[in-house]
Amino acid sequence: MGWKKYAFEFVSIFVAVVAAFALDKWNSDRKDAQAAEKILVEISHGLHKDLEDIRLNVGGHVEGINACRYWRRVVLGGTVPTDSLAQYALSLTRDFISLQNTSGYQSLRSRGLELIADDSLRSDIIGLYEYDLEILAKLEEEYDELQLHDSYYPAFSEVIVPHLLFSPEGMPVGLETPLQLAPADRARMLMHLLKIQQNRLFILQYYRSLERRIAHVDGHIQRVLAGR
C-alpha cells in the first residue's frame, strides 16, 4: 500500500508542477500579447504622424514644381504676377527632411521582433522601417541630386537677383521684365529648372508609393488588432 501512497504523491506533485509551468507560460503569453498590442497601437499612431509629414513634404515639392514653371516663364521673357515673386523665389530650391516617428518600432526592437506573432505583419513592419523609410531619409537628406538649395540656389541668385526690385523695407516686390539674359545664362537657367522639376517629380513618385505602403501596413495592423 505504501507504494500507492508514494505514487499518488508523486503524481500530485507532477501535476502541480506542470500546472504551475502552464500557468506561468499563460501569464507570460498574455503579457507578451498585451505588450504586442500596445506596441502595434503605438506604431499605428506613428504611421499616422508620418503620413502627415509626408503630405506636407509632398505639398512643398508640388509648390517647388509650380515655382519651376513660374521662373521658366520669367527666363523665357514672359510676364508673371509679382505678388507670388517672393514665394516662388523661396520655394524653387527649398529642401525637405524626413521626420519619422519610430518610437513604436524601436520599442518593438528592444523587446524582440518575434513579439509580433504574425509573420507576415512582422515582415511588413520590418520592411517599412528598415527599407522604405530609410530610403526616403537618404533621398531627402543625402542624395546629391535632391540637395536643391546647395546645387542650384547660387546660380539662381547670380542670374536673377540683379533684376529684382525691392521695397524700402528690403522685400522683393517686382522684377525687371521682360528679363534680358545672355543666351548662355538663359540656357543654363532652363537646364537648372528642368533638373529641379525632374528631381521633384522623382521624389514625389517615391512619396506616393510610400503612402500606399504605409496604408497597407497600417491596415494590416488594424486587422491583427481587430482579431485579438
Is residue 41 scored above 90 in pLDDT?
Answer: yes
* Average pLDDT of the chain, as a whole number: 87
Confidence of residue 33 (pLDDT cuts 50, 70, 90): confident
Average pLDDT over residues 198-213: 97
Distance of CA 30 to CAs 15, 27, 37, 105, Å? 22, 5, 11, 20
CA contacts within 13 A on the Cβ side of 210: 28
Domain extent, residue 136, equals 2-226
Choice among 7-16, 76-85, 102-111 with the minimum mean pLDDT: 7-16
Average pLDDT over residues 181-195: 94
Task: Choose among 68, 71, 66: nearest CA to 175.
Answer: 71
Confidence of residue 179 (pLDDT cuts 50, 70, 90): confident
73, 186 contact by CB (below 8 A): no
Please name the residue that has the C-alpha cell 512619396: 207
Choice among 19-33, 117-131, 143-157, 180-194 with the minimum mean pLDDT: 19-33
Burial class (CB in 10 A: 0-12, 13-18, 19+), 144: exposed
Per the structure, the count of domains in the chain is 1
Angle (nearest 5°) at CA 27 between 21 and 28: 85
Cα 126 from Cα 132, distance rounded (Å): 9
Q: Which pLDDT score, from 0 to 100, does residue 17 have?
A: 56
Q: Which pLDDT score, from 0 to 100, does residue 16 have?
A: 56
Cα 207 from Cα 179, distance rounded (Å): 35
Average pLDDT over residues 112-129: 93
Q: Which pLDDT score, from 0 to 100, does residue 26 have?
A: 46
Is residue 2 scored above 70 in pLDDT?
Answer: no
Q: Which pLDDT score, from 0 to 100, does residue 82 have?
A: 83
Sign of dihedral through CA atoms 192, 197, 200, 201? negative
Cα 50 from Cα 13, distance rounded (Å): 55
Q: Which amino acid is at 122?
A: R
CB proximity list for 196: less than 8 A, separation 6 or greater: 64, 68, 92, 93, 148, 152
Cα 45 from Cα 39, distance rounded (Å): 10
Which pTM was predicted? 0.84
Cα 215 from Cα 158, distance rounded (Å): 44
Average pLDDT over residues 107-118: 90
Query: Residue 164: enclosing H or E segment and its boundaries?
Result: strand 164-166
Q: Which pLDDT score, from 0 to 100, does residue 20 have?
A: 52
Residues written for the chain = 228
Please name the residue that has the C-alpha cell 482579431: 227
